[in-house]
C-alpha cells in the first residue's frame, strides 16, 4: 500500500511537525509551503494523499481542493482547520474533501485519518489497474486478477507456458480458477484463434479422448479434474499422446488433487502423469495473497450489483479488513459468493458462511438473486426470467426448488 503524504502548509513549524509525525509513522512525507509549490506534484498518478491547511495566503485549502477534484476526483484531501473554520470544513466535505481535522490535532487522531485515506487511495489505484487490465488485449492481464507478486508471477508463467506447444498441468485449490487459467494459456498460445474445448474428465469413455481431440483441431483440449479420469481412458489417453495420433489439438489438464500423490498411491496412471506434467502452472490460494482480496472483492461487488440490477454499495474499510483476515478455503469462488451476499444485504448469512459448504452458499446466493429479480419485476415471473437470461422452464424449476412464489412479490 502507498504511504506517501503531501503536506501543504504555509507555517514552516507546522510543516516540520507534521512531517516528523508522518515519518515516525513510516509515511513518506513531502512538505511544501503553498498551493503553487504543490501544484506540480498533484497528478492523476499521485500514489498518496494530501494533507493541507485550510487557511493559507493567496490560494487557500478550498482552492487546492477544487484543483485536486479537477485533476483526480478520487485523490483524498484531508484539511486542517482552526476552531473558527469548522463551518468551512463542513462545506469542504460537501465539495469532496476526504475529512477534516481541527488544530491542534493529536498524532493518533491524525494518523488514524491519514491511514484510512491511504487505504482508500490504494484501493482506487488497484481498481483502476484492474479496469485497465480488463480492457487490455492481453488475456493474462484481462483474466487473471490480482496485484500481488504471486499473481504477477502467475501471469508471467502463463505467458511463457502459452508460447510452447507442450502439454500443461494447471493446479490449485478448489475455486481458484484453474479452468480460467487454462483458457488464458490457450488464448495466448499460437492456437489462440482455434477452438477451446472444455470437458470434465470424470466419466469420459476410452474413445472419448480421440473424439474431443478431433473437436479441438487447431485449438486446445482442456480436461478438468484429470484425477477423476477413468482408468481405461487413462490408458487410451497415454497411448494417443505417445503415438501422437489425432493430436492436432494441444492438451491442457487441470487438477485440484495432488496428481503426483495420486500416481504414487496407484490411483492415477504414473506414466500418464509424467507425460502430462511437462509444463506445470500453479495458482496461489487467496490465503497466500491477502493483499489481493480488497480489489478482487470490489470487482466482484461491481459484477454482482450489475447482475442484480442495483447500484453497487460502498464497501467499508473495516469490512475489507475482516475479509483479509479470513482464510477463504473456497478461494475466488467463495469470495464471489460473499460479494453477492454483500450486494444483496445479507450480513447475517455472510457471518454464517464459514459453517456452510460451497453448495449451500451458492444456493443461498441463487435464491437471493431469484427473489431480487422477482421484486424488481413486481412478481412477474416471465419478466424476471428474461432479466436473469434464463429459459422460462429453468426459471420455474428453480422457483420450485427453493419454494419461491412469484405472487408473494407483487405490489
Rounded to an integer, what is the distance from CA 286 to the centroid of its chain? 10
Whether pLDDT at 137 is above 50: yes
Q: What is the pLDDT of residue 148?
A: 86
Cα distance from N-terminal residue to C-terminal residue, the chain: 48
Q: Which domain holds residue 352?
A: 288-409
Q: Is the pLDDT of residue 348 over 50?
A: no
Cβ atoms 334, 174 nearer than 8 A:
no
Last residue of a domain, one of 131, 149, 173: 131
Let me know whether 313 and 192 are in one domain: no
Are 277 and 296 within one domain?
no
In this structure, the answer to whether residues 336 and 219 fall within a common structural domain is: no
CATH code of the domain containing 202? 3.40.50.300
Statement to judge: residues 277 and 312 lie in one domain: no
224 and 300 co-located in one domain: no
Looking at the fold, whether 151 and 248 belong to one and the same domain comes out as yes
Does one domain contain both 158 and 274? yes
Task: Work out the pLDDT band at 303, boundaries 50, 70, 90.
Answer: confident
Q: How many domains does the chain have?
A: 3
Q: Which of 131, 149, 168 is the last residue of a domain?
A: 131
Q: What predicted TM-score, i.e. pTM, was given to this entire model? A: 0.57
Residue 354 phi/psi, 5-degree rounding, is -65, -20
261 plus 358 within the same structural domain: no
My answer on whether 116 and 193 are in the same domain is no
* 349, pLDDT greater than 70: no
Confidence of residue 294 (pLDDT cuts 50, 70, 90): confident
CATH number of the domain bearing residue 47: 3.40.50.2300
In this predicted model, what pLDDT tens digit does every residue of 66-122 receive, in sequence order?
999 999 988 999 998 876 677 777 787 888 888 888 888 889 989 999 988 988 888
Cα 92 from Cα 52, distance rounded (Å): 12
- End-of-domain residue from the set 131, 148, 182: 131
3-state secondary structure of 249: coil
Question: What's the average model confidence in pLDDT over 280-300?
Answer: 89
Q: Indicate if the pLDDT at residue 340 is higher than 70.
A: yes
- Per-residue pLDDT of 155-184, as tens digits, reads 999 999 999 989 999 999 888 899 999 999
Q: Are residues 159 and 259 in the same domain?
A: yes
Task: Examine the domain organization and report whether 147 and 269 are in the same domain.
Answer: yes
* 4-8: strand order across its sheet: 28-32, 4-8, 48-53, 77-81, 99-102
Mean of pLDDT values over 242-248 = 69
Is the domain of 23 the same as that of 100? yes
Cβ(55)–Cβ(82) below 8 Å: yes
Amino acid at each position: 500500500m502507498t504511504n506517501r503524504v503531501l503536506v501543504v502548509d504555509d507555517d514552516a513549524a507546522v510543516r516540520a511537525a507534521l512531517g516528523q509525525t508522518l515519518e515516525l509513522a513510516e509515511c513518506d512525507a513531502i512538505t511544501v509551503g503553498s498551493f503553487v509549490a504543490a501544484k506540480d506534484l498533484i497528478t492523476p498518478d499521485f500514489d498518496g494523499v494530501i494533507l493541507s491547511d485550510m487557511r493559507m495566503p493567496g490560494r487557500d485549502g478550498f482552492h487546492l481542493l477544487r484543483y485536486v477534484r479537477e485533476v483526480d476526483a478520487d485523490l483524498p484531501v484531508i484539511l486542517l482547520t482552526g476552531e473558527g473554520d469548522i463551518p468551512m470544513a463542513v462545506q469542504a466535505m460537501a465539495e469532496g474533501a476526504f475529512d477534516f481535522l481541527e488544530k491542534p490535532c493529536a498524532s493518533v487522531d491524525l494518523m488514524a485519518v491519514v491511514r484510512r485515506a491511504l487505504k482508500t487511495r490504494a484501493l482506487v489505484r488497484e481498481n483502476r489497474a484492474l479496469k485497465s487490465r480488463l480492457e487490455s488485449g492481453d488475456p493474462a492481464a484481462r483474466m487473471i486478477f490480482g496485484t500481488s507478486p504471486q499473481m504477477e508471477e502467475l501471469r508471467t508463467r502463463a505467458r511463457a507456458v502459452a508460447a510452447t506447444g507442450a502439454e500443461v498441468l494447471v493446479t490449485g485449490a478448489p475455486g481458484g480458477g484453474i479452468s480460467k487459467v487454462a483458457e488464458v494459456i490457450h488464448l495466448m498460445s499460437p492456437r489462440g484463434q482455434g477452438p477451446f474445448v472444455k470437458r470434465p474428465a470424470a466419466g469420459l469413455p476410452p474413445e472419448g479422448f480421440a473424439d474431443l481431440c478431433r473437436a479441438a483441431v487447431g485449438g486446445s483440449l482442456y480436461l478438468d479434474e484429470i484425477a477423476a479420469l477413468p482408468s481405461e481412458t487413462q490408458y487410451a489417453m497415454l497411448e494417443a499422446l505417445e503415438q501422437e495420433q489425432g493430436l492436432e489439438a494441444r492438451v491442457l489438464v487441470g487438477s485440484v488433487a495432488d496428481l503426483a500423490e495420486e500416481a504414487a498411491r496407484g490411483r492415477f496412471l504414473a506414466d500418464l502423469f509424467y507425460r502430462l506434467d511437462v509444463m506445470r502452472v500453479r495458482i496461489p490460494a487467496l490465503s497466500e495473497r491477502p493483499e489481493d482480496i480488497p480489489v478482487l472483492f470490489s470487482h466482484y461487488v461491481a459484477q454482482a450489483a450489475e447482475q442484480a440490477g442495483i447500484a453497487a454499495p460502498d464497501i467499508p474499510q473495516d469490512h475489507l479488513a475482516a475479509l483479509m483476515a479470513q482464510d477463504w478455503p473456497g478461494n475466488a469462488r467463495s469470495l464471489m459468493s460473499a460479494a453477492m451476499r454483500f450486494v444483496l444485504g445479507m450480513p447475517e448469512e455472510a457471518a454464517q458462511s464459514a459453517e456452510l459448504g460451497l453448495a449451500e452458499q451458492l444456493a443461498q446466493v441463487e435464491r437471493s438473486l431469484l427473489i431480487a429479480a422477482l421484486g424488481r419485476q413486481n412478481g412477474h415471473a416471465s419478466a424476471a426470467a428474461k432479466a436473469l437470461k434464463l429459459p422460462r422452464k429453468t426459471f420455474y424449476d428453480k422457483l420450485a426448488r427453493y419454494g419461491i412464489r412469484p405472487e408473494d412479490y407483487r405490489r
